[in-house]
Structure 1
Amino acid sequence: MTPAARLSAAIEVMGSILTERRPAADVLRDWGRSHRFAGSGDRAALSSLVYDALRRRASAGWIMGGETPRALVLGTLRLARGLDVEAIAALCDGARFAPEPLSEDERAQLDAASLDDAPAHVRGDYPDWLDASLASVFGEARAEEGMALAERAPLDLRVNTLKGAVDKATQQLSHLDPVPGQWSPLALRIALSADGKAPPVTVEPAYLKGLVEVQDEGSQLAAILAAPPRGGQVLDLCAGGGGKTLALAALMDGAGQLYAYDDDLRRLAPIHERVQRAGAHNVQVRSPRGKGAARAEVLDDLEGRMDLVLVDAPCTGTGTWRRNPDAKWRMRPGALAERVKEQAEILDAAARFVKPGGRLAYITCSLLDEENVDQIRAFVTRHPAFRPIPPAEAVLALGERGIALREAALERPEGLLLTPRRTHTDGFFVALMVREA
């Protein structure tokens, strides 16, 4: 496909995403199936442009005066790709498979391309209805935080110390030019290609043999700050596919007992193969059985026994917008309210497993106070036996890096908030509480 044909395809795909309100990945997959002539390079370039357009949907629509599929893609070429008017016009020449030529209005809009007078939600490329929530967290810096969330996410790996040291992983992946993470001593970061495509790490021997896992550095930090005790009893209550479970297992050096549970069998399904590949022999997966309240009975024997309970709570995912840019435009206020209710219920359920002197770690990949500090404040009101651990104490699990992380992140009495702008990670909120009685 020519660059102009790829541009036409991106406009077509954007039209389907906007009208059908389906995940971008599903629409792109269907497009690929119906256009078998498109090679892997064409599909990668198309995907990159579509995701960039979703990242910059508000700002691209603003400079173009509307959010039609064509306007969004053209505006993205100007804002995200840095193409000037003539370069965009050369792609839109009306030839076979190319978009129609630019109108005079489009030329003028692309030439001006100013966001100077745009409101914060436009400059930050997030939904208008979230502006008040983000303003309560970031104040006047909310647009800048949003802009960082509209950038492409890097590819981060976590070295699995159950299989080898960081130096070993760095050597085995040297052809990918990995660089050490800024905060996590176990992180390696690999640069993306110019079109945003990540190298196929999952076919690398280091991955297949369990030496490395794909995991954002922020997620790694959440597990490190939780500080699972070596030889202790730990419950990962919302284990999902096992990302943090595996990180906890390695931090425990394979000692003690780590229980992994999730109330959704589909989310939990990948964990079995991943645990085996990682060599995490201290992990015991507890799968839910039955329906309703009976599903929790598989954990009854753990009540009051855990040194650490980790709740990686289901959330709106606002901190992962770099990786899932279409999700922010499909998100609705009702979803936030539902998540807040669900998080409170999970926290209440988690409390019964923590022994006196044990800790409860609450983690979200959200930036919103409703899902973060507000949840912690409400929880300790309902459960006065729990006391928040100050972030200044929690970061000591990272040593000297922890001091620098605390300065970079947004510190609240209830926990620490990581963001792409501040820590160059996905957005994560990490709160620790100790049960005093």
Structure 2
Amino acid sequence: MTPAAHVSAAIEVLDDIARRRRPAADALKDWGIAHRFAGSKDRAAIASLVFDALRKRASAAFVMGNDTSRAIMLGALREARGFEAAAIAAVCSGERHAPAPLSDAERERLETASLDAAPDHMRGDYPEWLAPRFEAAFGARAAEEGAALAARAPVDLRVNLLKCSREQALEKLAHLAPAPTPLSPIGLRIDVGRGRGPALTAETAYVKGLVELQDEASQLAALLCAAAPGEQVLDLCAGGGGKTLALAAQMHNRGQIYAHDSDGRRLAPIHERLERAGVRNVQVRAPRGKADVLADLDARCDLVAIDAPCTGTGAWRRHPDAKWRLAPGALDARLKEQAALLEAAVRFVKPGGRLAYVTCSVLREENEDRIAAFLAEHSDFAALSGAALAEKAGLPDLARFASPHGPGIRLSPATSGTDGFYVCVIRRADR
């Protein structure tokens, strides 16, 4: 397939996504099944174009004065890839499988349109209904933060200190040109530019459990929990086990971690991951009907970690289609789940113990406002300031990311170069 044919195919996939409001991955998979002549490199090129268009959907539509799939794709070629009007016109030749030639109006928009007069939600490429919430979180920097969330993310790895040092991991993966992550002392970063990321799961270092795929913000969230060897830790929303593995490494396999999730299906990958990583201090507590599988942990835990279900606004760099499917009703549902989880966690925190609340959201409603509501109802808990949280974790430099809206640490692509995360640790009073 030619580059022009890739653009035509991307427009076709965007049409399918818009018409059926479905995840981009599903639409791309179906396109590939229906067009088996397309090789893996063709499918990768088309996927890259589709995701670039979804990252820049609002700004591309503003530039083109139209929100059709063709207009968004043409605008994204300019906004995401830096193509000039002449280069886009060359792609749109109308020959064979190329898109139809540019109209006079399209060419003029590509040559002259500016985002200077665009509202923040279009310059920042996020849904209009989230505009007041982004303003509440970021003030005058809302568009800048949105634009950073619309950029491509690098590939970050967490070094498993149970098996090797960061220096050893750098040597093992030297052929991928990794660099140490700027903030996490246990991370590596691989810049993939516009190309395909490496097949990391086939790398020997990954297969042997020396490294795990994990964004730097997620690494920092686990480090800020400050789990210590010998502690009793409950990971209440363990899912596939990413933070469980990170906490186990911090604890040097000493003490005990109880990995639980309300949906046992989400726990399925954890067993193989624990074995690969050499983790020996984790008990998996999957749900068993109406049985209370955590009854023996009442008031026993030094740390309860909640990786709360959220809107995922902080992870848009990795899932750009998710932001356009997000609806106000989803936020309302997540807020109820977060409140219920915080309430459920209280019973497990022993006197003097702590509760770590983590989201991959940038919205105040899911972060600082949620913590404020919890503290208003639980006078025996107090939140650590961002500076105190960073200091206790041995990462004092993170104090510069202390939230301006309340306790905790707030990370984002524009400020920290990571995914958007919020971390707050709440300590229970000694009796």
TM tier relative to shorter chain: over 0.9
* Mapped partners of 1:113, 1:191: distance in 2: 31
Which of 351, 354, 361 is residue 356 of structure 2 equivalent to? 361
**1:150 deviation in Å?**
0.4
Secondary structure of 2:15 counterpart: helix
Which of 404, 425, 432 is residue 425 of structure 2 equivalent to? 432
Cα contact 1:409–1:423 (8 A) shared by 2: no
TM-score for the superposition, normalised by structure 1: 0.97
Match of 2:239 in 1: 240
Aligned 1:335-414 pairs, distance under 5 A: 335-399=330-394, 402-408=395-401, 410-414=403-407
* Mapped partners of 2:386, 2:71: distance in 1: 45
* Mapped partners of 1:232, 1:410: distance in 2: 28
* Mapped partners of 2:258, 2:163: distance in 1: 20
**1:301 deviation in Å?**
0.5
**1:33 deviation in Å?**
1.2
* Mapped partners of 2:19, 2:251: distance in 1: 48
* Mapped partners of 2:33, 2:339: distance in 1: 42
2:428 is aligned with what amino acid? R
Aligned 1:49-64 pairs, distance under 5 A: 49-64=49-64
* Mapped partners of 2:234, 2:418: distance in 1: 25
**CA shift digits 1:23-61 (9 cap, x unpaired):** 001110111111111111111111111001000000000
**1:167 deviation in Å?**
1.1
* Mapped partners of 1:118, 1:304: distance in 2: 53
**CA shift digits 1:372-428 (9 cap, x unpaired):** 0111011111211111011111101453xx333222454443211100000000000
**1:116 deviation in Å?**
0.3
1:117 aligns with 2:145: no
Cα contact 2:305–2:355 (8 A) shared by 1: yes
Cα contact 1:229–1:307 (8 A) shared by 2: no
* Mapped partners of 2:174, 2:393: distance in 1: 26
**1:366 deviation in Å?**
0.4
Cα contact 1:409–1:419 (8 A) shared by 2: no
Match of 2:66 in 1: 66
Match of 1:91 in 2: 91
Secondary structure of 1:360 counterpart: strand
**1:113 deviation in Å?**
3.1
**CA shift digits 1:215-261 (9 cap, x unpaired):** 00000000000001211100000000000000000000110000100
Match of 1:100 in 2: 100
* Mapped partners of 2:365, 2:256: distance in 1: 33
* Mapped partners of 2:396, 2:300: distance in 1: 32
1:311 aligns with 2:311: no
TM-score for the superposition, normalised by structure 2: 0.98
* Mapped partners of 2:406, 2:363: distance in 1: 15
Cα contact 1:419–1:425 (8 A) shared by 2: yes
2:410 is aligned with what amino acid? L
1:184 aligns with 2:184: yes
Match of 1:211 in 2: 210
Structure 1 residues 48 and 66: CA distance shift in structure 2, 3 A:
same
Structure 2, gaps ≥5 residues long: none
Match of 2:142 in 1: 142
RMSD: 1.0
Structure 1 residues 408 and 307: CA distance shift in structure 2, 3 A:
closer
Secondary structure of 1:132 counterpart: helix
Match of 1:270 in 2: 269
**1:358 deviation in Å?**
0.3
Match of 1:419 in 2: 412
2:374 is aligned with what amino acid? F
1:166 is aligned with what amino acid? R
Match of 1:173 in 2: 173
Cα contact 2:170–2:178 (8 A) shared by 1: yes
* Mapped partners of 1:175, 1:226: distance in 2: 33
* Mapped partners of 1:20, 1:416: distance in 2: 38
**1:266 deviation in Å?**
1.7
2:412 is aligned with what amino acid? T
What fraction of aligned residue pairs are identical, expressed as a percent? 59
Cα contact 1:409–1:417 (8 A) shared by 2: yes
Cα contact 1:224–1:397 (8 A) shared by 2: no
* Mapped partners of 2:29, 2:63: distance in 1: 29
Cα contact 2:401–2:409 (8 A) shared by 1: no
Structure 1 residues 189 and 148: CA distance shift in structure 2, 3 A:
same
Match of 2:14 in 1: 14
* Mapped partners of 1:159, 1:409: distance in 2: 25
1:327 aligns with 2:326: no
* Mapped partners of 1:84, 1:425: distance in 2: 30
Secondary structure of 1:277 counterpart: helix
2:255 is aligned with what amino acid? G
Structure 1, gaps ≥5 residues long: none
* Mapped partners of 2:13, 2:300: distance in 1: 52
Match of 2:229 in 1: 230
Cα contact 1:405–1:423 (8 A) shared by 2: no
Cα contact 2:227–2:247 (8 A) shared by 1: yes
* Mapped partners of 2:173, 2:305: distance in 1: 31
1:432 is aligned with what amino acid? V
Cα contact 1:77–1:88 (8 A) shared by 2: yes
* Mapped partners of 1:268, 1:110: distance in 2: 48
* Mapped partners of 1:116, 1:14: distance in 2: 26
Cα contact 2:217–2:411 (8 A) shared by 1: yes
* Mapped partners of 2:392, 2:269: distance in 1: 29
**1:65 deviation in Å?**
0.7
* Mapped partners of 1:178, 1:382: distance in 2: 46
Aligned residues: 430
